[in-house]
Chains A and B, each alone.
Chain A
Amino acid sequence: MKNELEHIDFDTKLKAKVEGHELNGTDELWSGVQKKVLASRYKRKFFFFRALSIVVILALISTIMFYEFGFKEAQISSNESIEQIEESKKAFQNDLVSEENLIHDEEYIAPILKSPDKVNLVNNLNEDSHLYPELNEILDASTTDSSNFNKGEELKTQIVKHDKFLEIFENNNRNIKSESSHKDIKTKVAIDTSKNLIDLNQITNNYLLNSNIEVDTLKGFTESTNLDIDFLEYKNNQNQISEDTSNFIDNLVIRKSDVDENTEIDTSSLDLVQMNTLNQTDSVEITIPNKSGPNRFALTPYISPLYSDRYLKVNSIISGSSDYISAFRQSETGKISYEFGLDLNLEINDKWQIISGVNYSNLGYQYNPQEIDLEHDTINDQFSLYSSVGNHKFEGEEFDEEGEQEQDEEDEISFKSKINLSVISVPLGIERYFNFNKHQLVVESSITFNYILSNALIINQINFEGEDQSNDFVFRNIEGINRFFVGARLGFGYQFNLNDKLALMVKPNVFVSFSELNSNAFVRSFPLSYGLKTGIKFSL
């Protein structure tokens, strides 16, 4: 005590002597100060305008790129869709069929998809020739994954096809009359019964045997429709028809109005089996393939291992403080942690998406202070913890201790400490996709808004007494921490599309905070983390 007073007295006397002491400066010193100040003003202006010009250039480039490659594409693709629809509409307009009976693409395609030869469809159509180009496009665009028709419906369709065939046949020979008789020409068109096609012997009865149509005339018809019917063959092989004829029948374009429930079928020529088939209703449903539209929204649940750390800055009145910070940081390391969350994507087009969502992460860092002083203010029940790498204050009820407190003074003691921050975040940003069929590369850039749900300082005191023993001291609600902070995330990832609804995603990323955790401290702390997001993307 006496010594302490002596020391205070000593210090006080020295201080009184030294404080207020002045030294005379020189003009050279003042010139040096002036030069420094003027140089910084020039540098500030230069830096400001340089930074501003870079920002403006980047903004211009981004706008041009987005407009040229993103927005324009969306526009073009939407324009194409409109054009396609308009063309298809025209294709189905016909004087004989009113517009409301026309089928749009999806409904129309189903019967046609059974055709094995789409090219012949175009060639074989006559009065429907105006459908040719559009139909090709539709057939090319559609999938061939149609399921079975209802048997009764299928048979009905085929019957209508037959009538259609006859109609075409008749129209092509409307004004043709011949005196010759070809009774011996029999055209019995027996079509594969597995497809429930019917016997087209009416062709023979109505138009060949009884119509007095010359073979040449018939050939003329077949030539005009690009059919290659070998009638001599028919004569000899009454149970066969040419493949072209079969294809032609298969590829006949059928309108909905032709096959709806009100269509009357002449069943007089049908046998019993066919009658039963016509009346059958049990079968699988007709799946009409629809051209799927763009998937606008997507959800991606993910998990991510994290390496969490921090970076430091000191107040601006200290310049060149990197060494000071590095001394601080020598005792610190990052920690392995985790993050999980749910991303929500909104597709703008096939290259750009807006990303948002919500996630939870455990941030923080570890440090190894050489010394720790712990003071307990019993009156206010407040703990103050001092270490070479930081000071913290806690309320009494926020202090948890796990493990035994007893400690021998001769023990070797070391400390390991870590800061735990439980953070909930909402990102808002943009993703750019580079498409390679099923594979996609993704670049993410987003701002994240973060809120600290809870924070704790955990000190692990390790005593060495021949064997390791450790005590954990847990301090919650570290004083002076800002609950809310903002940062940015940058990610480069890979996505594999399993199908148009499901994709696997892997995305390494880095998060950096702009705002500090402790704004009033001499040393300001900014969270930092490196993660590997892994998830499954569900397109809605």
Chain B
Amino acid sequence: MKLLYDLYAPQMLSVCHRYVNNSDEAKEIFQEGFYLVFKNLKQLKNPEALSGWIKQIFVNSSLNYIKKQKKLYVVSEINEGIEFAFNGNIIEDISADEIIELIKDLPIGYRTVFNLYAIEGYSHKEIAQRLGISVGTSKSQLFDARRMLKKNLARLEKRVELVG
């Protein structure tokens, strides 16, 4: 049991941190996730898909936690036609920790949709079904998430430029 834990814990902890912006909440999801892994391990029919299966459990646990806490709400920012231009290379220059912090800074609705679509690879239709929202809402949340991330990346780029 410890072996499995040691193998996947660091990665899964990062997954949990991406969905909530509170360290304690991430730990709670993390523990719940591993509990479910050990509880349902016998049901796994395809051992080759173990890592994907485990990740799926943690994603589901995160979503479940968010819904349970009634935290999922959608925000619409009205930024009329403002585009944030930035050099895509900034993504290469900053660390993964900083990118995760940028993602955590997103409102929970943007963050959840962005994680599911851009990182986990779900379609809008699947996201809509999972979260109980419409496809249109999912698309708009993703659009706004990207806009905000780009805005924040642009600021970061300027700071980097200033610093040097």
A-side residues, CB < 8 A to B, are: 7, 9-11, 13-15, 17-25, 29-30, 32-33, 36-37, 40, 316-321, 323-324, 327-328, 370-371, 373, 386, 388, 390-391, 522
Q: Are A23 and B64 in contact (CB under 8 A)?
A: no
A352 to B: closest C-beta gap in Å:
42
**Which residue of A33, A318, A388 is within 8 Å of B134 (Cβ)?**
A388
On whether A371 and B134 interact (CB within 8 A), knowing A37-B35, A320-B68, the answer reads yes
Nearest B residue to A388, CB-CB = B134
B64/A319 in contact, CB under 8 A: yes
Is B76 in contact with chain A by the CB < 8 A criterion? Answer: no
Are B60's CB and A14's CB within 8 A?
A: no
B2 close to A18 (CB less than 8 A)? no
CB-based contact B64/A324 at 8 Å: yes
CB distance from A332 to the nearest CB of B (A): 12
In the complex, A324 Cα to B132 Cα: how many Å? 8
Contacts of B125 in A (CB 8 A): 373, 386, 391
Tell me if B39 is interfacial: C-beta within 8 Å of chain A.
yes
**Could you tell me the distance in whole angstroms from the C-beta of A220 to the nearest C-beta in chain B?**
100
Contacting B35 at CB < 8 Å: which of A15, A17, A36?
Answer: A36
B50 at the interface (CB under 8 A from A): no
- Contact between B9 and A25 (Cβ–Cβ < 8 Å)? yes
Q: Does B91 count as interface, using CB distance less than 8 angstroms?
A: yes
Contacts of A14 in B (CB 8 A): 91, 99, 118-119, 149
B80-135 contacts to A, CB under 8 A, are 88, 91-92, 96-97, 99-100, 103, 117-119, 125, 128-130, 132-135
Known: A37-B38, A316-B40. 4 other contacts (CB 8 A): A37-B39, A317-B56, A318-B64, A370-B134
Chain B residues contacting A36 (CB-CB under 8 Å) are 31-32, 34-35
Complex-state Cα separation, A9 to B60, whole angstroms: 26
Asked whether A18 and B92 contact (CB < 8 A) given A29-B30, A327-B67, the answer is no
Quote the shortest CB–CB distance from A520 to chain B (angstroms). Answer: 13
Q: Compute how far the CA of A319 lies from the CA of B117 in the bound complex, rounded to whole angstroms.
A: 23
Residues of A within 8 A of B135 (CB): 371, 373, 386, 388
Report yes or no: A10 in contact with B88, Cβ–Cβ below 8 A.
yes
Q: Return the chain A residue nearest B30 by Cβ.
A: A29
Q: Flag if B39 contacts A18 (CB, 8 Å).
A: no
Q: Identify which of B34, B99, B119 contacts A33 (C-beta below 8 A).
A: B34
> Quick one: which of B10, B117, B132 contacts A328, CB cutoff 8 A?
B132
- A residues within 8 A CB of B17? 23
- A10 contacts which chain B residues (CB < 8 A)? 88, 91, 146, 149-150
Using a CB–CB distance below 8 Å, which chain B residues touch chain A?
1-2, 5, 9-11, 13-14, 17-18, 27, 30-32, 34-36, 38-40, 56-57, 60-61, 63-64, 67-68, 70, 88, 91-92, 96-97, 99-100, 103, 117-119, 125, 128-130, 132-136, 146, 149-150
A3 to chain B, nearest CB (A): 10
Q: How many whole Å from B39's CB to the nearest CB in chain A?
A: 6
| Chain B residues touching A, majority SS | helix
Question: Are B64 and A320 in touch, CB under 8 angstroms?
Answer: yes
In the complex, the answer to whether B91 meets A17 with C-beta atoms within 8 Å is: yes
Could you show 8 A-B contacts with beta carbons less than 8 Å apart?
A18-B14, A22-B14, A24-B10, A29-B9, A29-B13, A320-B64, A324-B64, A388-B133
Contact partners of B14 in chain A: CB under 8 A: 18, 21-23
Which 7 residue pairs are nearest across A and B when measured between Cβ atoms? A22-B10, A327-B132, A11-B118, A371-B134, A36-B35, A23-B13, A21-B96
Given A18-B18, A324-B67, also A317-B36 (CB < 8 A) = yes
Assembled-state Cα–Cα distance A388/B63 (Å): 17
Distance in angstroms between the alpha carbons of A373 and B56 in the assembled complex? 27
> For B64, what are the chain A residues with a Cβ–Cβ distance below 8 Å?
318-321, 324
Residues of A within 8 A of B128 (CB): 386, 388
From residue A41, how far is it (CB to closest CB) to chain B in Å? 9
A480 CB to nearest chain B CB (Å): 14
Task: Report the nearest A residue to B86, measured CB to CB.
Answer: A10
Minimum Cβ distance to chain A for residue B110 (Å): 13
Q: Chain A residues with Cβ under 8 A from B150's Cβ?
A: 10
